[in-house]
Structure formats: C-alpha cells, structure tokens
Amino acid sequence: MIQRDPSTSKAAEVTSEGRLKTRSVTQTIESHTNQSEEEAYNAIFAVNPDGADDCIFYLKNNSEEDIKIEGIWWQTSAAEEVYYKLGESGTAVKTNGADITPANMNSGSGQVADCDCYSNIADGAVDITGLTGGRVAQKLWLTSAESEYFNMEQDIYVQKNQIFSIYCVGGDTFLRGTVVFAFHNDE
C-alpha cells in the first residue's frame, strides 16, 4: 500500500470512497513502443505470386520478445482471397523471393527488427516453400483495386522461433501490403 511518496514524503490523496487521486498522462502501447523502445516496424511487400496457394509473405521471430502484429494494409489489382497462418514449421526456401528489412517507424532509431522476413518488393514473383503444418488464423477476400487496412482485433502474437505467413488463393493478381508490427514487452 502506498502511503507516502518516498522522494517527497507527501501522502497520497484519497477520496471519501477510498479511491486514489492521480494526475496522469496516458499513451498507447503502440506509441510507447515506437517512441521509447524504438521497436515498431512496417514490412512492405509487392508481389505477383507464381501460382495458386503460394506463400507470399514469411515472418519468423528471432527475438526473446513477442512480435505483436497490429494489422495489414492491402491493395490488389484484382479480387483475391488471402489467408494468414500461424505455427508452421520447416525451413523457408525463397523461390523468386527476397529478404525484406522491415522499416523502423522511429526516424531517429537505428534498431533493426530481430526477425527473418521474406517476400518481394517490386511486384515480383514469389513462392516461399519448405513450410508445413500450422493453422489458418484469418481469411480475407480483397476487393479489386482498393487500398484498405485490416486491423487484427485481437492482435496476432508471434513468439520466439514462431512463424507468421500469408498465402494467396488464386495467385493471378498483383498484391501489395504493409505488415504493421512491433516487438512487445510485457513490462
């Protein structure tokens, strides 16, 4: 129980209902993570899948801290269905893909995301193979020629050595996206 501030010896004020009086400044976890911890990132990709049911985006967490995926911006040249998977295993093999370095969202930070991230960045062909198992966490039907942000209402958490991936169903359209994520510390 807090009775006095140890540095000033002032007592805490309490209302007649026993509630502590405070003055505070609030900040979202996302803002704090970006400003104070400099661990907020965007992974931008632009792909033309090799074919149907191809893995077009791969993110593996190498950090001790969880990755918290907030949502994804999507744009497509034609209607397409995509789905997100969690918990796959195996060694990712980049077929017509490229390494992506997620952009740190704090302009003064030199920190780099502690993850492996593969896709493509110039409307290039991509298919990431070598993955098995896992579970579908979400399916989306994207409308032609629209740009839209899809928020993860419950957020997606990716623990150390775990994988988040995105697959396309049709594979015959240009897909562009931005995966919005941060490294989350419980403290």
Is residue 19, in this structure, part of any structural domain at all? no
pLDDT value of position 182 = 96
User: pTM above the 0.75 mark?
Assistant: yes
Is residue 79, in this structure, part of any structural domain at all? yes
Q: What whole-number percentage of the chain has pLDDT above 70? A: 98
pLDDT value of position 112 = 97
Task: Report the distance separating Cα 99 and Cα 116, nearest Å.
Answer: 8
DSSP state for residue 64 in the 8-state scheme: S
Given a contact cutoff of 8 angstroms between Cβ atoms, the answer to whether 49 and 55 are in contact is no
User: Considering only CA atoms, which of 30, 103, 5, 98 is closest in space to residue 58?
Assistant: 98
pLDDT value of position 2 = 58
Is residue 74, in this structure, part of any structural domain at all? yes
Q: For 176-186, what is the mean pLDDT? A: 91
Q: For 145-171, what is the mean pLDDT? A: 92
Question: Which structural domain, as residue segments, surrounds residue 170?
Answer: 29-184
The helix or strand, by DSSP H or E, that contains position 65, with its residue range, turns out to be none
Give the total residue count for the chain: 187
Half-sphere exposure of residue 93, counting CA atoms within 13 Å on the CB side?
6
pLDDT value of position 9 = 78
Q: Sorting pLDDT into bands at 50, 70 and 90, what band is 155?
A: very high
Residue 38, Cβ neighbours under 10 Å: how many?
Answer: 18
State yes or no: pLDDT of 1 exceeds 80: no
Q: What's the pLDDT tens digit per position in 40-97?
A: 999 999 999 888 999 999 999 999 999 999 999 999 988 999 999 999 999 999 888 8
Is residue 165, in this structure, part of any structural domain at all? yes
Is residue 22, in this structure, part of any structural domain at all? no
Is residue 16, in this structure, part of any structural domain at all? no
Is residue 134, in this structure, part of any structural domain at all? yes
pLDDT value of position 3 = 67
Q: What is the CATH number of the domain that holds 116?
A: 2.60.120
Most confident of 25-34, 89-98, 99-108: 99-108
Is residue 119, in this structure, part of any structural domain at all? yes
Q: Sorting pLDDT into bands at 50, 70 and 90, what band is 19?
A: confident
Q: For the chain, how many structural domains are there in total? A: 1
Sign (positive/negative) of CA torsion 96, 99, 103, 108? negative
pLDDT value of position 81 = 93
Q: Sorting pLDDT into bands at 50, 70 and 90, what band is 122?
A: confident
pLDDT value of position 145 = 79
